[in-house]
Amino acid sequence: MRKKPKLKNIHTVAQSRIFNLESMDVEFSNGSTRVYERLVSRGNGAVLVIPMLNDDTVLMIYEYSGGTDRYELGLTKGKIDKGETPIEAAGRELKEEIGYGAKTLTFLKTITLAPGYQSSETHIVLAEDLYEEQADGDEPEPLEVVEHKLSDLEELTYKQDLTEARSILALYMVRDIIQSRKG
């Protein structure tokens, strides 16, 4: 049976404007102890939005990614501001990043990236019934918006510039949701 371990001696090892790196002593129910380190997000989580023009056309963006030092193809995403719900953040990010609003925003799932050592959560939201509307955002440069077809998802998944697991997962989820609607 799973019994949640006891956390002891939690302390900050390092800090950045986005993360705290914490060390913690973990004591398991069988008496074993380990030292864990984790990245603890200082924010309110993030949203990842799948903007669908129609049942087969998704709007994606090229955005510079510091971690890989290249432009990556991905979905609209961003942090959730204080006091904002994931749905509100999704609507805002759409307008800021791709110049569209959505009449229908549907929460799909909350995911983590590496729960063994990272606390941040991403809320996946499907955006449908899009309409043009722009809002000022915090991007350092305009983002390139491109259309892709869900019917070509297997080919799209293997593109060299689409490596973000969150985006790939979300695209497969939405493809399955749309296919199940068609019966």
- Domains of the chain with CATH codes: 6-41 (no CATH), 46-182 (3.90.79.10)
Give the confidence band of 43 by pLDDT, cuts at 50, 70, 90: confident
Place of tokens 């799973």: 2
pLDDT surpasses 90 at 17:
no
Give the pLDDT confidence of 81-90 residue by residue, as tens digits.
999 999 999 9
Asked whether residue 99 carries a pLDDT value surpassing 80, the answer given is yes
pLDDT averaged over every residue in the chain: 94
Q: Coil, strand or helix: which one is 161?
A: coil
21 contact partners, CB below 8 Å, separation of at least 6:
12, 13, 14, 15, 37, 38, 39, 40
- Note the pTM of the prediction, 2 decimals: 0.91
How many Å apart are CA 43 and CA 11, to the nearest integer? 18
